[in-house]
Amino acid sequence: MVKKLIKLIDFGGFMNNNSRIVQPVGKLIPFNPTGEYYFSKGIKAYHQRDYYKSLKYLKRALALEPGEPMIACQLAIVYADIGEYQKSNELLHLIIEELDENMEECYYFLANNYAHLGFFKDAYYHAKLYLSLTEEDGEFVEETEDLMEILSLESDELEEEDYHEEDLISRQDQARTLLESGNFSEAADALTRVVKDYPEYWSAHNNLALAYFYLGDTKKANDILDQVLQKNMGNLHALCNKLVFAYYENNVTYRDELVGILRKINPISIDHQFKLGTTFALIKEYDLAYHWLGKIYKHGFQGDGSFYYWLAYSAYFTGKEQTAKRAWKMVLQHNPEKDGQEPWSDQKNQLDGFENHLSSILKRLESEHLEERLFAAFLTYISSKKEDILSSLKEKNLKPQSGLEKEYLAYVLNGEEISNPYLVAAHHTAMNLYHNNQPIGIQQASMYLTLFSVFTEMQDKGILIKNYDASAAAIEYLWYQYRQKRKSQQQLANQYGVSTSTIQKYVKMMKPFLTSAHL
């Protein structure tokens, strides 16, 4: 699966360059490099196999010429050559969907990338699509046919899978990105649409279950996985997700049962080996985790930041400190904001919450949902990385999408006074929740989303909360109640310093404004 772009990398002068300027003698002539200039340097570095220098020049070229598909395509090839397959795929989809839909070569490169990632059905789909779009003597016809033959040996079911629409993979990737960045409501909405259109695309079902689990609806999440296992018996991703759910729900008996089942599985697919390894690492079964993650690492697998994160943890806790440190260097290359979260750091427990996940906060600030953006503003307020967030906001030129959000961000970032009493109440209630629930983990995030959703609904009805301790206790009580977990009003009364009767009053007041979307 060797990547090449003979036609593209041999092209010169792909942009009109009419920048020839006559300068008076004796004056300095300014040097203003163009996208074509950096593209040429990037190609030269690529031919010299200096991929990281090539990457640097091509990224600069694309910044100067963001609509030029040939630059984007060559950059995607370099990303693939250094193992950054996800970034490569994002660029290739951008080309097809926005820049030049006629660049069918992109489907060949996508097929290669998915094959390297172990997503054989996705690889086969894009390879088949390339052959259907290109000429009989197309640039990569022979290589594509060879790839399809190899893929067919891996799975007999490839040709049975017909996705009918070209956008399926990109829609799944977008939903996966939403999940990874903590935008669970948006991910659930996107995946629900995918599942409706492609009822037998099990990967989407599994990710939808994860979205609901992170939103706190564990019953719905488990029901989805049960349906997957009923219709697609032995689905490894569903079994792994079941194990993760059992671990977080502290269902020790079922957890041990699933560990016993999964430890006997010996998959060939790199995708399955990766899933097993990360699942075992997440539940702290580090010996089993390193068995798989270490194996694919030794065979040259180059994953994303999450791969190196779990490799570092499983290596460190199985006594392989040098491997752990090498892996952690790769983690920081992918996710610099994880500095301080290394497995040997004493500060790890203080830095493990969403309040310090820079990429997650920035993604939430761009959400379509107001409660997500308000939650992101609150996370910024309590984050130790506030300056980094502020710099990123300026760099991306992100603007508030509502007056409420604008006022909150002005307070969070500049210390300007909040005049809206409903926003004051929401902020202080969130602070009370945070003082009693640190750090903010995956499931706790839905408690805050519930809070901001309730307060915006109450503002619409003109109902103002004045006792912030009681409102925090009521939100926490309702949140636990919805999960069928017990946290008594007396416990919360002691925790927040209010009476049980006051909590009952606020529970009654706030309950009508709850929605299952965030609970």
**Beta strands in 397-465, from DSSP E residues, in sequence order:** none
Q: What is the dihedral of CA 503, 504, 509, 515, to 10 degrees?
A: 90
Q: To the nearest whole number, what is the mean pLDDT of the chain?
A: 80
SS3 of 514, please?
coil
CA distances 20 to 16, 35, 492, Å, are 11, 15, 74
The answer to whether residues 40 and 140 touch, using CB atoms and an 8 Å cutoff, is no
Tell me the average pLDDT across 56-62.
Answer: 90
- Which of 82-96, 174-188, 323-337 has the weakest average pLDDT? 174-188
Taking the alpha carbons of 65, 68, 72, 75 in that order, is the dihedral positive or negative? negative
Tell me the average pLDDT across 80-92.
Answer: 86
Predicted confidence band of residue 179 (pLDDT cuts 50, 70, 90):
confident
- Predicted pLDDT of residue 74: 93
Which DSSP string corresponds to 8-49? HHH----S---------TTS-------HHHHHHHHHHHHHTT
Tell me the average pLDDT across 94-121.
Answer: 85
pLDDT digits 0-9 by tens, 266-283: 887 788 889 999 999 988
- Predicted pLDDT of residue 195: 86
In the chain, count of helices (H) and strands (E)? Answer: 27, 0
More confident residue, 162 or 417: 417
- Which of 148-152, 278-282, 447-451 has the weakest average pLDDT? 148-152
The CA distance from 512 to 10, in Å, is 65
- pLDDT over 80 (residue 203): yes
Same fold flag, 6-17+29-156 and 180-345: yes
Q: Residue 306, class by beta-carbon neighbours within 10 Å (0-12 exposed, 13-18 middle, 19+ buried)?
A: middle
Percent of the chain residues past pLDDT 90, beyond the cut? 15
- Predicted pLDDT of residue 117: 78
Which of 180, 124, 178, 165 lies closest to 147, judged by CA?
124
What are the domain boundaries of the chain? 6-17+29-156, 180-345, 354-513
- Which of 156-160, 374-378, 475-479 has the weakest average pLDDT? 156-160
The answer to whether residues 267 and 277 touch, using CB atoms and an 8 Å cutoff, is no
Specify which of 35-44, 165-174, 341-350, 380-389 reaches the highest per-range mean pLDDT: 35-44
Percent of the chain residues past pLDDT 70, beyond the cut? 83
CA distances 290 to 260, 273, 281, 284, 308, Å, are 17, 11, 8, 11, 11
Tell me the average pLDDT across 380-399.
Answer: 75
- Predicted pLDDT of residue 486: 65
SS3 of 432, please?
helix
pLDDT digits 0-9 by tens, 41-53: 999 988 888 888 8
Which top CATH class is 6-17+29-156?
A: mainly alpha
Predicted confidence band of residue 337 (pLDDT cuts 50, 70, 90):
low
The answer to whether residues 260 and 228 touch, using CB atoms and an 8 Å cutoff, is no
**pTM of this structure:** 0.45
Predicted confidence band of residue 77 (pLDDT cuts 50, 70, 90):
very high
pLDDT digits 0-9 by tens, 398-430: 676 778 888 888 888 777 888 889 999 999 999
Q: Can you identify the CATH homologous superfamily of domain 180-345?
A: Tetratricopeptide repeat domain (1.25.40.10)
CA distances 69 to 112, 384, 440, Å, are 19, 39, 41
The CA distance from 132 to 500, in Å, is 68
